[in-house]
Structure 1
Amino acid sequence: MFFSLIKSNNQENLHFVRSYQPQNKEVKHLRILLHGPAGAGKSSFFNSVESVLRGRVTGRALTDANSGSTFTTKYTAYTIHKDQESFYSFIFNDIMGFEPKNGSGVHVEDIKLALMGHVRENYKFRPEGQLTDADQGYNESPALDDRVHVLVSVLPAGLVSIANDEVVKKMREVRLAASEMGIPQLAILTKVDEACPKVKKDMKKVYKSKYLKEQVNKFSSLLGLPPNCIFLVKNYESENSTNDDINALILSALRQMITFGEDFLNNL
């Protein structure tokens, strides 16, 4: 029943996303930052959002299914074409993933700087050293448009119970920093089909799955996010065309990201 309601809202959610414009005139685009461990599905989620909005499967954000370490190395901003002359009014920032070992993966302090708008686009992260104000990639005077307006934590649903303690600690530290800045936070659990065989057979059972509900509650306890801020999604990774069931989950999460971000901008 709950999934049917989400699916029935597909057209309404699409209209909301397509017509969205930030009311705060200091901002041209709402900025959404995806963060989480290497291989969580951050880049794939952006590709999936673009696939839904363009009506065909895309792969602009490069991913690597075989890599055991982070594939994204730069602070990359992705806009999505609405038509030939205009873009959607939100930006996704992809970032290097967390890794459990020191000297690999993105630094927590670098993500905190990104939240404040101090990281320039295309800055290449250095696992061996953090960004400093002497680096070329440092934005000394960020505008509101440069800052992050929504933080989204990303983790595969099947890894919640075995998530590395050090990675979880880093994710929670970023979340707490965002809270101090007043930045709203959401989370998405990806790869729900891999985590639950029943869902793999029928995506309509995603919100009926006791296992996935348990993972949402566990992730809520790990990060301190309310369960209603944690969304279950399946990214477009093996499909050759889009379908309404997968679209429904992605659009539901995307609309809430935009809504939370708009509330943040209006409160400033």
Structure 2
Amino acid sequence: MGKEIILSCETNTEGLTVTWEKDGQKLMCVQDKHIMKQDGTECSLKILNADERDDGNYTIQLENNLGTASCSAMVNVELSEWRTVQWEQNATVSSLKEFKIDNDHVRQLRFLLYGPVGAGKSSIINTIRTIFEDRQFEGLCVNCPVATLSKCYTKNYLKYSIGTEGALPLIFSDTMGVEKGESEGVCSDDIINALKGHITEGYVFNPTGQILEDNPLYRINPSLSDRIHCLVNVIAADKIALMDVEVINKMKKVREAASRIGFPQVVFMTRVDLACPLTTRNLHCIYRSRKIKENMQKCSNLLGVPVNCIFPVKNYYEETTVNEDTNCLMLDALKHIIPWVHKYVVNCSTMSTNKQ
């Protein structure tokens, strides 16, 4: 922000007609902002006092009576950091390992992961388990993050504890992915039933209809301990613009049901390393990236979840070693949402006691 950017191109001949474009549109020179020069075989564009509006793909178009040529360069302008991350994991890991639930009736906080096929739900669980077991964890089969896959691996409703022998009082439940089509992907009513605690582990999701009360895996009278305590919507940062309206509407239906129940909801925005060149090079730029900030706002607009409840994360999917930056980004999300969810559980227990 505020720096001078110079883009230059050396040609092999003089007298060319030069046009500059930004994001496919002709760039109109703005006084005290752009300086375009053509000096012999050197062409340049100077951008003064760069800010986030100057972020984009710049192309120089060259033309003479022999033909045309062009070349492009991507300009990424870092914003002022609007959130901070502790890029050293030990203190946060130790703090979370010491976390205890202040409720005699709830032994574990329960999180349900919900989102489109390939968004990274199972990878989130693998990543969290990797952090707290200090080794690369590949306990769940996951979709390849760079492939376009139409079907999900997860078919059953399964829960996973965190830490060696479930040392942390956290449970993450994996679900079948959301797909477009009335009889494709997980049934929205099944997710709502799971949120309420009616579905027990092992249930096989049926895209054509919700679980019935006569199913042996249907829990009639779930307790606070049986219920989900936080809905984690999982959205891929590099696929937001491509999300089908049917998928969005299904997720809205579940989110609205969760709002009526009244428990916490967050968004884990995955694949941030694939969504922005800055974060591809360096995860420390996550909260200085215009692209990431825009995608967080898009998530908020699509689902109605406030931006301060949206957490960009990176999952393990191709790495063979543990990476502290990847861990710290996930830990930053966990250290914010766990106290919030814990407060919800304590308040629910207090309200239940007062009614008795």
Query: What range describes the TM-score normalised by the shorter chain of this pair?
Result: over 0.9
RMSD of aligned Cα (Å): 1.7
Counterpart of 2:332 in structure 1 is 252
**Are 1:221 and 2:312 counterparts?**
no
Task: Assess if the C-alpha contact under 8 Å between 1:79 and 1:92 holds in 2.
Answer: yes
Task: Assess if the C-alpha contact under 8 Å between 2:89 and 2:327 holds in 1.
Answer: yes
Deviation at 1:162, TM superposition (A): 2.0
The counterpart of 1:153, out of the listed 215, 233, 242, is 233
Compare relative contact order (CA 8 Å, sep 6+) and give the higher one, 1 or 2: 1
- Measured in 1, the distance between the counterparts of 2:332 and 2:218 equals 34
Letter in 1 for 2:156: K
Counterpart of 2:6 in structure 1 is none
The counterpart of 1:50, out of the listed 129, 134, 152, is 129
Counterpart of 2:12 in structure 1 is none
Counterpart of 2:321 in structure 1 is 241
Q: 1:3 to 1:219 in 2, by over 3 A?
A: closer
Deviation at 1:129, TM superposition (A): 2.2
| 1:7-86 equivalences in 2 (<5 Å) | 7-8=86-87, 10-65=89-144, 67-82=149-164
- Measured in 1, the distance between the counterparts of 2:82 and 2:130 equals 20
- Measured in 1, the distance between the counterparts of 2:160 and 2:83 equals 31
- Measured in 2, the distance between the counterparts of 1:264 and 1:63 equals 31
Deviation at 1:4, TM superposition (A): 9.3
Task: Assess if the C-alpha contact under 8 Å between 1:22 and 1:262 holds in 2.
Answer: yes
- Measured in 2, the distance between the counterparts of 1:13 and 1:178 equals 29
Deviation at 1:3, TM superposition (A): 9.0
Deviation at 1:108, TM superposition (A): 0.8
**Are 1:198 and 2:278 counterparts?**
yes
- Measured in 1, the distance between the counterparts of 2:225 and 2:88 equals 30
Task: Assess if the C-alpha contact under 8 Å between 1:3 and 1:204 holds in 2.
Answer: no
Letter in 1 for 2:336: Q
Deviation at 1:227, TM superposition (A): 0.6
Query: In proportion to residue count, which structure has more strand?
Result: 2
Q: 1:8 to 1:191 in 2, by over 3 A?
A: closer
Instruction: List runs of 5+ in structure 1 lacking aligned partners.
Output: none
Task: Assess if the C-alpha contact under 8 Å between 1:3 and 1:206 holds in 2.
Answer: no
- Tell me the SS of whatever aligns to 2:318: coil
Task: Assess if the C-alpha contact under 8 Å between 2:83 and 2:287 holds in 1.
Answer: no
Cα deviations across residues 141-174 of structure 1 (Å, max 9, x unaligned)? 2121110001110010011122111111111111
- Measured in 2, the distance between the counterparts of 1:209 and 1:8 equals 17
The structure having more radius of gyration, on CA atoms, is 2
What TM-score do the two structures reach when normalised by structure 1?
0.94
- Tell me the SS of whatever aligns to 2:95: helix
Deviation at 1:8, TM superposition (A): 4.1
Q: 1:3 to 1:248 in 2, by over 3 A?
A: farther
Letter in 2 for 1:7: Q
Letter in 2 for 1:165: V
| 1:48-197 equivalences in 2 (<5 Å) | 48-65=127-144, 67-82=149-164, 87-197=167-277
- Measured in 2, the distance between the counterparts of 1:106 and 1:260 equals 27
